[in-house]
Amino acid sequence: MSPPSTQTMACLALFAALQSRIFFSKDAQYLEIRPQSAEDVAEIINVTKPFALAGKIMMAIRGGGHMPWAGAANLDAEVTVDFQNITGVNYDPRTNLVSIGSGERWAAIYSALDQLDLGVAGGRVSKLPLASGEIVEANTQSHPDLFHALRGGNNNFGIITRFDMQTFPEGQMWGGLVSHNGNAFPDVAKTFINFAQTSNPDPLAHVIAAASFIQGMEVALANFYPAKPQPDPPSLAPFVAIQPQLMSTVRDDSLLGFSVEQSSFSPDGARSWFFTTTWQADLDFMLSVRALGAEAVAPLSASVPGFVLAKAFRPLTRWLLTASAAGGGNTLGLTPNDGPLIVNMLQTLHTNAADNDKVVSAMLALNTSIEDLAVEKGKFNKYKFINYGYKIPGL
Ligand SMILES: Cc1cc2nc3c(=O)[nH]c(=O)nc-3n(C[C@H](O)[C@H](O)[C@H](O)COP(=O)(O)OP(=O)(O)OC[C@H]3O[C@@H](n4cnc5c(N)ncnc54)[C@H](O)[C@@H]3O)c2cc1C
C-alpha cells in the first residue's frame, strides 16, 4: 500500500481540527470548509499553512461566489473556504457603524438597513485572520498599513470575516433605467461624457451608461441614481430627455428596490464573464469603443446561443476621486488628477459550455483592441477595476 499523499494528509489534518465544518463535493473532487467564526478561519490557516507553504495544496476563498471565472472563488481538486455561515448584520446606534459578516449578501444588508432608513457605501474596519493565524482588526487606527493594503489588495493580505461600515441616513431615492434603440447611443454617450467632465458636479448623482448587444440587437442604456427622492435633478435631467425610449423604470424607490432591479438583469444559470479597461473620458473614444464592440459581436451573435454583450461605462469623476482620496484613497495609485476616467466593463452571457473558449478569446481580443486604441489615441489609463477583471497576468 502506498503512503497517503500530502494532499490527503492535509485533508486529514483539517478533518481532525474542523470535522463538522467540512463538506466533500458529490464526486469527492474538492473539499469545502464552511467556517462559523474568525477562530475557525484562524484554525484553518494554522492547519493548512505547512502544506500551503510547501506548495502541496492551494486554497480558494469564496464570499458570495460572484466572481465568475474558474479559480477566482473555487479550485478544482483543492480546498475552498466558503463563508456562507459567517453572516449577520448588526447596527450600533452609538457608533453609527454596521457590522457585517463577510458571507452576507447585499440584499439582506440593504433590507436590514432599509428598516432603519439607513444606507452604506464603503468599508471602515475589517476583522481578519492573517497568514500567521493571528486575528486582528484593521482600520485607520489599528494596523493602518494593513487597512490601506486591503483597499484594493484583494485576498492577498488576509481573510476577512467581518466588515464594519459607516452608515448614513437614506430614505427613498429617485432613479432607474432608461433604454433606447442602439441608434440613440451617440446621444446617450454625449450626455454621459458631459456628466463625467462637468466642472459643476452633483455629489449625489451617479450614472452608468451601456451599449448592450442582445442576440444581435443593440440597445443603448442609462442607469442613474441621485441619492435623494428629487425627480429630474439638473445633473440627470438630460438623460431622461433623450427620446425615443424603449423602456423606463424611473421612479421613487429604496436602495433595496433598485438593487433588486439590478439583479433581475443577471439571470441565474447563464454563463457569464467580465473583462475591463480604463480610459480617459472622451466622446470620440467612447463612440470608437462602441464600434469595436459591434464588430466583435457580429460573429458571436450569429453562432453562440443566448449570446449577450453589455459594454458598461462607469465614470470616475474628479469629484469622486477627490472624495475617495479624502476618505483614505486606494492602493492602486489613482489620484484626482487622473480623472475624469471611464471604467469600461465588457460583460457576456451565453448558454452552452461548448462556446466558452470562443466567447473568452473573442472578448480578450476585443479588450486588447480597446486598450491598443486607447494607447494610440493617448487615452489609456493602466488602472483596472479588480471586480471586473478577468484572470489576466498583472491584475
Ligand atoms: C451580476 C453581477 C453584478 C455585479 N455588479 C457589480 C457592481 O455593480 N459593482 C461592483 O463593484 N462589482 C460588481 N460585480 C462584481 C462583484 O463585485 C465581484 O464579483 C465581487 O468579487 C463579488 O464578491 P463576492 O463576495 O461574491 O466574491 P467572490 O466571488 O466569492 O470572491 C472574489 C474574490 O475575493 C476573494 N474573497 C472573497 N471573500 C473574501 C474574504 N472574506 N476575505 C478575503 N478575500 C475574499 C476571493 O478569494 C476571490 O479572489 C458584479 C458581479 C456580478 C456577477
Q: Is the pLDDT of residue 243 over 90?
A: yes
- Residue 182: predicted pLDDT: 96
Q: What is the pLDDT of residues 113-145, one digit of tens each?
A: 999 999 997 555 567 878 888 999 998 889 988
H helices of the chain, where?
6-18, 38-53, 106-114, 144-150, 185-197, 237-240, 255-263, 283-303, 318-326, 356-376
User: Residue 25's pLDDT band (boundaries 50, 70, 90)?
Assistant: low
Whose Cα sits closest to atom 19 in ligand 1?
Answer: 67
Least confident of 49-53, 350-354, 360-364: 49-53
Q: Does ligand 1 have an atom closer than 6 angstroms to the CB of 126?
A: no
Residue 4 is predicted with a pLDDT of 57
Ligand 1 centre to CA of 64 (Å) is 7
Stretch 22-32: mean pLDDT: 71
Confidence class for position 77, pLDDT limits 50, 70, 90: confident
Residue 210 alpha carbon to ligand 1 centre in Å: 21
pLDDT for res 150: 84
Q: Which of 19-33, 81-95, 211-225 has the lowest mean pLDDT?
A: 19-33
Going by C-alpha positions, the residue among 225, 131, 102, 105 that lies closest to residue 170 is: 225
- Ligand 1 centroid distance, CA of 159 (Å): 14
**Domains of the chain by range and CATH?**
6-82 (3.30.43.10), 89-169 (3.30.465.10), 173-388 (3.40.462.20)
Q: Is the CB of 154 under 6 A from ligand 1?
A: yes
- CB of residue 61 inside a 6 A radius of ligand 1: yes
Put simply, whether the predicted model's pTM sits higher than 0.85 gets the answer: yes
- Residue that the C-alpha cell 441608434 belongs to: 183
Question: What's the rounded Cα separation, in Å, for the pair 216 and 308?
Answer: 8
Q: Which atom belonging to ligand 1 lies closest to the Cα atom of 62?
A: 30
Residue 372 CB contacts under 8 Å (≥ 6 apart), including other chains: none
Tell me the mean pLDDT in the region 14-34.
74
Amino acid at 95: T
- Over the stretch 247-295, which tens digit does the pLDDT of each residue have? 999 999 998 898 888 888 777 778 999 999 999 999 999 999 999 999 9
Spell out the residues 6+ positions from residue 262 whose beta carbon is closer than 8 angstroms to its own.
none
Residue scoring higher pLDDT (260 or 308): 308
Mean pLDDT to the nearest integer, 382-388: 89
65 lines ligand 1 (CB under 6 A): yes
Asked whether 10 and 51 are in contact (CB, 8 A), the reply is yes
Question: Average pLDDT, whole number, for the chain?
Answer: 88
Range of weakest confidence among 4-13, 77-86, 248-257, 313-322: 4-13
Residue pair 25/62 in contact (Cβ under 8 Å)? The answer is: no
Per-residue pLDDT averaged across 145-162, rounded? 84
pLDDT of residue 27: 64
- Position 219 pLDDT exceeds 90: yes
Q: Counting Cβ atoms within 10 Å, is residue 19 exposed (0-12), middle (13-18) or buried (19+)?
A: exposed
